[in-house]
Structure 1
C-alpha cells in the first residue's frame, strides 16, 4: 500500500469523462465505411445500429431529429458510409459513432438495396399485372404530383393544353432529397382522399412526374412508402419519372409507366382535333347509314304495298255481309217482339187475382191438415213413452234391487271358491310334474358319474375331451371333479416330458387338490 501512495486517485465519472474527451478530441468528425448489422428502432424514435467489417464492429446511433433527415433509411446488410463523431457512452463503458448522415457506399450498394426491395415488394403482390386498372378514356380532372417550379409541370400543362384542355390540379412535392418520398406519397394519398363532387374536384387520373437524373437523384421514387401509396391508390396512376432508360420501383406499382412526363400527358388525354374529326366522320357515316336504311325500307314498303290488294277490294265482302245482316235484322226484331208478347199474355192469364186466391186457399187447407196430423202424432208418441216409463219404474223398486244384488253376491262367492280350488289343484299337478322332471334330470346328469370318483376333461374351448389321441402336447386342459372344483393342467408329450404347466389361480388350484380322490393321478 505504501508503494502506491503517490498514484493519483480518480473517480469512475472522472475516468469516463477523460476517456470521452480524449476520444472526441482525437477523432473529431469522421467518415466510416462498413456494412449495417443489427438495427433497432425503439419507441423513442432514435435508431441504434452496428457498423461492421470482417474484423470489427462499431456501435452507432442516429438521434430522432436526424433520423428524419437521412437520405436513405438503414437496412441490414447495406454497405454505407456513415459520417459523424466518435464518442463514448459512460453508462455501459463503450464507445459509439453518433451519425449525422448516412449514404450508400457507391452505386453498387444502391443497386443491391434496390433489387432486394423490389423482390420484397413483388413477393407481396404490389407489382401484379392483375392489380393494374385501365386509364379513363377522357378524364375531366387530372392530378399531377411533382415540383411546381420545375420544367416538368410546364411540359405537362403545355402538352395537355395542345391536345385537350381540361382541369389540372398540381400537388407540390419535392422530387429529390431526403423528404421527397414522403411528400410524393402524401400527394398520392391526398388526391385519393378528395371527395367526389366536393369543393376541390377529385381527379380521374394521377400523374407522378419528375425529370431525369442519377440513381441517387431518383432514389426517393424507390422509397417503399411511395410504392405502397401508388399500389393503394383508388385513382388510376401514371408514373413518369426520369427518362425512358430510367426505371424506379414506382414504375412497377403504377397502372401505366410513361417514358417521359410529356409522354404521360399524351397517354392521359387524347387529341381534341382528332376526336372532333372522328366524331364528324362517325356522324357522317351515321347519317349516310340512316339514309340508306330509310331508302331500303321505303323500297321494301312499296314492294309490299304493290303485292297487297286495293282497300276497296278488301272491304267489299265485309260490306256485303253487313248489308245482308241489316236487311234481315228488322224482320227478325219484329218476329222476336211478337213471340215475347205472346209469352207475356200467356203468363199474365195464369197470374190473375182469382187464380192466385184459389191457389192460396188450397195451400192453406193443406197446411191446416198437416198441422192437425202433427199434433195427433205428438200426443200419441208422448202417451206411448209415458206408459213404457211407468212399466219400467215398477220393476225398479228397492226390495227387488236388493234381492237381485244378494243373488249376484252369492253366485260370485261360489265362483270364487271354485276358482281357488281349481288353482290349487293345477299348482299341485305342475309341482309334481316338475319334481319328476328334476329327478329324471339328476339321474341322467354327468355329475352323478363324477360323484362316483370320475373326472371330466375339457379343452381350451370348453369342449369335453373324448380321446387322448386328439390332444396336442402342451395343450391347456381343464379337469372338473364331482364337487364342482376345477384344475387347469397341461397335456404331456408322448415321451413323458411335460412343458411347464400354466400357472393356475391359487384359490382354484387349492380347491382342486383337496377335491381330487386319494390315489387317483393324472389321466395323462
Structure 2
C-alpha cells in the first residue's frame, strides 16, 4: 500500500471552500450588467421568486429574481426576450455553481429617450438627489394637502373624492399642464410656489404635496423626467408624493420624491389616513391599555409574594460555597502532585530526543542527504545538456524552413507586382492619351466661344468701334467734344475722323475755326 504524500497545504471542508469561493466571486464581480437572452423561464415560482437563465452564443448563467424585486420590475421576464440584467454575482453552494441575483431588467434595444433617461438618472443620482437619507417623512395627519395636476382631468376628481372618503382635509390645487413644452417649467414653478407660501394666513402652506398625472407613453410622461422638475422636487422643503402614470410607469421624480405612489388614488390614500379606522383603533388601544395595566399589576403582586416566600436563610446561602471551597483545596493538593509527575516524565522524553540530535548523528544524516543530492545533480546536468541540444537542433531546422518560406513568398510577391505593372502600364498610356484629346477638344470649344463673343463679329455685321486719340473706346456721345480726333475701326480696317457739331447747331466763325481735317458727321 503506497504511503500518503506529505503536504503543507491546509485541509479544507467542502463548506469552507464554498464560502471562500463565494466571497472571492462577490468581491470581484459584486455588481454587473449582463446582456443576454432569457431561457427556461416558466413564470414566478410558488414562493414568488423567479428562476431562469441568461445565455448568448457561447455561454449561459443562472439568474434569480427575489419576490420583492419581481413585484417592482417595470419589464417582466419573458422567454426568448433579449434584456440587460443588472444585479450581483454570487454562488449557490448546494450545486457548486455561480448565478446572478437580478435587481433590474431593461430591454436590450434601448431607444433615444430611454438612453437619455438612463444618462440623466445616473447624473442626478451621482449628485445625491435620489439618496434615501435626504428624503423626508410624511406627516401622519396633514391639515392641508397641495395637489399639482391638470384641473380638467379625472386625476384631480379621483384625489378629491378619495381624500373626502378617508379623512376630509383642506386641498389646495395648483393647476398646471401635465404634457407639452411648458409643462416641466409649470410643474417646477408650482412646487416652488407651494414652498413660498406663508405658514399662516388665508392661503397657508400645505403640509404635503401630491404631483399627479394619468398614465401615458414615455413621451407623454417626459415632462416629469426633465432636470428642472427633478431638482425642484429634491429642493422642496415640503414632503412630496409622486403619482405619475400607472404602477409600471417610472419617471425621474419618482426617485427624487419623498414617496412614490403607484396611482393618483394611491397617493391620496398615502397622504391621509382613514378617519373611522383611526377612531376605532384609538378606542381599541384604550381598552387594551386599561386591560394590560390591570393584568400587569396583578402579575407584579403575585411575583412579589412568591419571591418573598422563596428567599432562603443566610446560612443556607453560604453553605454551598463553603463546601465548594473545601473540595477545591483537596483538588489543588492532588493537582500539584500530578503536575510534578507529568513534568518529570516530559523531562525524560526530552533527554532521549536530545540524545538522538547529537552533532555526530546529524552530520551522518546530512552526509547521506548530500550524496543523494550530488547524484541527482549529475543526472540533471546530463539530461539538461541533451534537452538543450535537441532544442537547438529543432530551432535550427525551424529557422532554415522559415527562411526558405520567406524567400518563396518574396519571389511570389515580386512576380505578382511585375504582372500588375505590365497590366497597368498600357492602361495608364491610354488614359493619358484620352485625357489629352479631351483637353484639346475643350480648348477648341473655348476658342470658338471666344471668337463668337468677340467684338470683331459685331464689326462684321456693319458696326464700327469708336476710339479717342489715345485708343480708348468711347461709349457715349456726350463724352466726345467737337473737333476731337477719333479712330473708327471697321471689320476690314481703321479710318481717322474729327468730331463735328450736330445738324442745326450754331457754326463757329472762320476766325475761330481750325483747319479742317475731314468729318463723318
TM-score range, shorter chain: 0.3 to 0.5
TM-score (norm 2): 0.36
